[in-house]
Amino acid sequence: MNDPTPPESPYLRLGKEEGIRRLVELFYQYMSELPEAATIRNMHAEDISPMEDKLTVFLTGWMGGPERYRERFGRVIIPAAHEPYPIGSAERDQWLLCMRHALDAVEAEPDLIEMLMPAFTQMAEMCRTIDD
């Protein structure tokens, strides 16, 4: 009996690190351009490049690629990194809107989007610092 070939990781399906870097660039581009994302954009410094780098490295490992985040930035503690910011459901939804637009822009396959969006939703929910 043959085992089916395991599905490719999101890392591979999005084009490895370069594809994830493009996803992150588009994510922050949408954050900067969409009026409905202004609240979360204003939580970031004017120069977004350090955050692009961190999110790219994080998502690369999270999506099945090389795990370099810890060696470059230390332990990943998503909630702690967001504690200083007032993040409620509106901010969570703004983040998810930008990520969904970025996934669409890189032409991620529909089944990949269906797999990633619930995980991104859970991740974004972990960042909430206020109940509303």
How do residues 61-120 score in pLDDT, each as one tens digit? 999 999 999 999 999 888 888 999 999 999 999 999 999 999 999 999 999 999 999 999
Mean pLDDT of the region 37-61: 96
Which residues, including other chains, have CB under 8 Å from residue 114's CB and lie 6 or more apart?
Answer: none
Q: Which of 39, 90, 81, 30 is nearest to 58 (CA)?
A: 81
Is 9:63 a contact under the CB 8 Å cutoff?
yes
pLDDT value for 98: 98
Distance CA 25, CA 48 (A): 10
From residue 33, alpha-carbon distances to 57, 61, 88, 116, 128 in Å are 23, 27, 21, 23, 23
Confidence of residue 2 (pLDDT cuts 50, 70, 90): low
Tell me the domain boundaries of the chain: 14-126
Residue 1 has pLDDT above 80, yes or no: no
Select the CATH number that applies to the domain covering 14-126 from these four: 1.10.1040.10, 3.40.50.300, 3.40.50.1820, 1.10.490.10.
1.10.490.10
